[in-house]
Amino acid sequence: MSGRRIRTLIWKEFTQLRRDPLLLRLLMIMPIVQLILFGYVVAADVRNLATAVVDLDRTATSRELVDAFRGSGYFTIVENPTSETALQPLLDTGVVKVGVVIPEGTQDRLLSGQVADIGIVVDGSDSQVSSVASGYATQIVARENLDRPARLGVSTVGPGIDARVRVVFNPTLDPINSMIPGLIAAILLISLSAIMSQAVVKERESGTLEQLFVTPIRPPEYIIGKVTPYAVLAIAQMTIIAAVGMLWFRVPFYGDVWVVGLGLGLFLLVCIGQGLLVSLMARTRAQAIQTTLFLMLPMIVLSGFIFPIASMPAVIQPLTYLIPLRYALDVLRASFIKGSGLADLALPLLALAGFAVVIFGSAVLATRRRITE
């Protein structure tokens, strides 16, 4: 191993990067765009759902119920059709996502001690919206059931059950608090495996790779020289996300910086190794891009970055153990939100270390073997 040769390779790689200002700009803009996307769009709470109310009862009770919906902040009443049949086209065309139907005689039934049914119609084409909307609607009705007798001065029969859910670790239930720590790992995976996949195959196409290996450069020197500049860039990207996330989105950090650093360092090796492997196996740059895309989607979906693993089918769940991003997310989210330490995170960290050894190790071996043939 020669320090001079490694430094020369790093210098060469940085000089080539500098000649590609578009790539550099993309690399620095990408985390910002992703932050905006995931910070404001994906993580946005479901609010101000367009709602139509069909009030056929037109009584004090029905108006109170409508006010409760309006006052919740989750529903914006944009239409007041006069019949249930007029509601259907509004849902069909997507003008409203939710319909509330209060049948005639609701107040009378309630006053005479009967159960009154009201209809909540939810557009199920967006499962996220529909599940959240029906949840909120159920809550509002339940609350109304508790409040109404009190307002009328009638005591309810028995104390009833009043569940008060207390959310630990993320009290505001702000999805951004788990989204941004996850984003740090996701960006690392996306950008590193994408750029690294091009790294070697580009040099093979141009013939310079063959040329380099007729000089005293050894394969480990080549890998270090190749990987270092991109690792530096990736660390810059992660720093941008973490800084913007904590300063702008006010994501709290309760964890240990060293534990997060260890987890990210191991995950960095996994991502670089994966990119290198793709680059070594691919014959052309186009092949490398296709392979990366092919790998990326299942990795992100199965990692639990966007969709919780617990809600995946039981058959699929074991597969998620094969996805390194899953463990990186565990480490980051637990560190940021729960302040978990080294001991709590030993398992995911060990898993990451295992992946790093296997994937990066096989990339190094593959470089030795495949570099010229």
Which of 171, 207, 313, 318 lies at the binding interface for another protein (CB under 8 A)?
A: 207
* Token code pair at residue 94: 């997507």
370 scored as a contact of another protein (CB under 8 A): no
Q: β-strand 75-79 against 49-55: which pairing, if any?
A: parallel
Residue 309 is classified by DSSP as G
Question: Residue 188 and residue 195: Cα distance in Å, rounded?
Answer: 11
Q: Quote the CA–CA distance of 125 and 315 in Å, as a whole number.
A: 25
Number of neighbouring beta carbons within 10 Å of residue 303: 23
Query: Contacting another protein (CB under 8 A), which of 63, 109, 218, 285?
Result: 218
Per CB under 8 A, which region of 51-59, 210-218, 293-301, 333-341 contacts another protein?
Answer: 210-218
Which one of residues 4, 93, 113, 160 is an interface residue with another protein (CB under 8 A)?
A: 4
Q: Does 210 bind another protein (CB under 8 A)?
A: yes
Q: CB–CB of 216/298 below 8 Å?
A: no
Here's the x/- map for another protein, 81-120, by CB under 8 A: it reads as ----------------------------------------
Binding range to another protein, per CB under 8 A, among 8-16, 83-91, 258-266, 289-297: 8-16
Least Å from the CB of residue 190 to another protein: 24
Beta-ladder partners of 180? none
Residue (8 or 291) nearer to another protein, CB? 8
**In the bound complex, what is the minimum distance in angstroms from residue 359's beta carbon to another protein?**
23
Q: Which is nearer to another protein, 25 or 47 (CB)?
A: 25
Question: With CB under 8 A as the contact rule, which of the stretches 10-18, 33-41, 141-149, 156-164 interacts with another protein?
Answer: 10-18
Please give the C-alpha separations between residue 83 and each of 53, 55, 70, 159, in angstroms, as whole numbers.
10, 8, 20, 37
Q: Position of tokens 């970055």?
A: 305
Q: How many CB atoms lie within 10 A of CB 103?
A: 16
Q: Report which DSSP code applies to 156.
A: P
Q: Is position 22 an interface residue for another protein (rule: CB under 8 A)?
A: no
Using CB under 8 A as the binding rule, whether residue 308 contacts another protein is answered as: no
Residue with tokens 């803009």: 29
Q: Is 154 in the site for another protein (CB under 8 A)?
A: no
Strand order across the beta sheet in which 75-79 lies: 75-79, 49-55, 98-102, 119-122
Name the residue nearer to another protein (CB basis): 20 or 108.
20
Tell me the window of 1-9, 53-61, 119-127, 159-167 that interacts with another protein (CB under 8 A). 1-9
Shortest CB 219 distance to another protein, Å: 11
Q: Does 217 bind another protein (CB under 8 A)?
A: yes
Q: Which one, 4 or 166, has the nearer CB to another protein? A: 4
The answer to whether 59 contacts another protein (rule: CB under 8 A) is no
Of the pair 2, 239, the CB lying nearest another protein is at: 2
Among 93, 112, 172, 215, binds another protein (CB under 8 A): 215
List, as own/partner pairs, every contact residues 38-45 make where C-beta atoms lie below 8 angstroms and the sequence separation is at least 24, other chains included.
38/179, 38/180, 38/183, 39/176, 39/179, 39/180, 39/245, 39/249, 42/175, 42/179, 42/306, 43/174, 43/175, 43/176, 43/179, 45/175
Residue ranges binding another protein (CB under 8 A)? 2, 4-5, 8-9, 11-12, 15-16, 19-20, 206-208, 210-218, 372-373
